[in-house]
Amino acid sequence: MKTNSLSISSNNALGKQMYQLISQLYPICRSITGNGFRETLRILQNYIPLEIREVPTGTEVYDWTVPQEWNINDAYIKNSQGEKIIDFQACNLHVVNYSVPVHQKIGLDELKKHLFSLPDYPDWVPYRTSYYKESWGFCLTHKQYLALQDEEYEVYIDSSLKPGSLTYGEYFIPGETSQEVLISCHSCHPSLCNDNLSGISVAVFLAQQLSQLSLRYSYRFLFIPGTIGSITWLHENEQRVSNIKHGLVLTCVGDAGKFTYKKSRRGNADIDKIVEYVLEESGKDYEIIDFFPYGYDERQYCSPGFNLAVGCFMRSPHGSFPEYHTSADNLDFVRPQYLEDSYQQCLTALQILERDRTYISLNPKCEPRLGKRGLYRAIGGQSEEALNELAILWVLNLADGEHTLLDMAKRSKMAFDAIYKAAQALLATDLLKEL
């Protein structure tokens, strides 16, 4: 049986479960198309009833075109002794994502034109892509780069780039209304844990929890390739976009950094106010940043033709930590406790979103007598679970059709839960009605 209560009690095992999912997905070589993406979605189907959708290569999606599908089997660089010095099987970041197939022998000078390393972090392998320009290349540690000798090398990339499709996953949870909350995460990176897998994992466990509840809103979860995925989804589903009233893009939610929330383009949407309130009340370090048209898929959802109320929930933002888009964004960089903390903050925000309402007092001229309605008896011993008298008075005073429960909580500096319980009690005594 479904319940209306969003339980956010601490569960020490939850973070470990999310981390285990990340560990399972970590070895897969994903890209914006291809079998690695499909394998990832099939694993997610073990957790939630995800629908997998395919959009053919060549489909025009606004100013973009669904690209050719890329798949890779193997890749390496061998020295003149026939030894593999770079091996895709050891680290899938070694190959520039979307590299075209190649098999040839070349000298060092020519090889260096196709190599990428990080001099400032000589033990890390960078992550590089070539989605929309046919090319090939290898990424390696700078130590490996410096160890290269002036000799002939065999380069081999067993990949394919041909017509196929773009794949994405979608899970819809119906609520009481057709109004939707969108939860979106890019799922196209290879072995990168914080930027990619952490958002996927938190989204999956949020979906699991929400599917067990009686909900006011409907929820749509998207697992898509970055940029082209959101553009494609918006194009293919433009007729239903007007149903989306709130939304979050989840990414980089598994590291030790402080919480960061990037507001929607609107800047004052309900989801912006709620997440800011939740982070303020959490007692944890956080930062709220204004929208800017770069980053993740929020920039597509917030493009002026849609202007959806979608913000981006993160810990350390993209590009702000040295491990970003490198092999150091690994299973040691994300931790179960940070994943669980991110999950709890998101769930708290959704709890407020579900419960937030605007009311109008049915007895607005002076305070009504609470005692004759049994509300003072409910206040009674002032236990933690009892109604708060001051919360009742705040709700009555601000129930003018212009203040939401969140507005009341912020103005009164009282917990949202206390305000919500007071409003429920007043509704039961016919002192309020929902606007």
What's the distance, CA 129 to chain centroid? 21
Please tell me the distance from the alpha carbon of residue 347 to that of residue 313, in angstroms, as a whole number.
Answer: 12
How many CA atoms lie within 13 Å of 369's alpha carbon, on the beta-carbon side? 3
On whether 94 is known to bind a ligand per the annotation, the reply is no
Nearest to 424 by CA among 387, 398, 380, 372: 387
On whether 114 is known to bind a ligand per the annotation, the reply is no
* DSSP secondary structure code for residue 374 in this structure: T
Q: How many residues are there in the chain?
A: 435
* DSSP secondary structure code for residue 327 in this structure: T
What is the pairing mode between strands 64-65 and 244-250?
unpaired
On whether 325 is known to bind a ligand per the annotation, the reply is yes
Q: E-assigned strands of 57-187?
A: 60-61, 64-65, 69-78, 84-87, 102-106, 115-116, 138-139, 153-162, 165-173, 180-186
Q: Are 295 and 261 in contact (CB under 8 A)?
A: no
How many CA atoms lie within 13 Å of 51's alpha carbon, on the beta-carbon side? 7
Residue type, 363: N
Determine which helix (DSSP H) or strand (DSSP E) holds 312, and give its type and residue range. Answer: strand 310-314
Q: Which residues pair with 310 in a beta bridge?
A: 247
Please tell me the distance from the alpha carbon of residue 394 to that of residue 374, in angstroms, as a whole number.
Answer: 18
The two three-digit tokens of residue 306, written as one number: 């849609």
Q: Report the SS3 class of residue 165.
A: strand
Q: Are 282 and 345 in contact (CB under 8 A)?
A: yes
Nearest to 14 by CA among 278, 346, 312: 346
Q: Phi, psi at residue 129, to the nearest 5°?
A: -135, 160
- Separation of first and last alpha carbons in the chain: 29
The two three-digit tokens of residue 307, written as one number: 């202007």
What's the distance, CA 231 to chain centroid? 16
Residue numbering of the annotated binding site: 189, 195, 325
Q: Residues at the annotated binding site for Zn(2+)?
A: 189, 195, 325
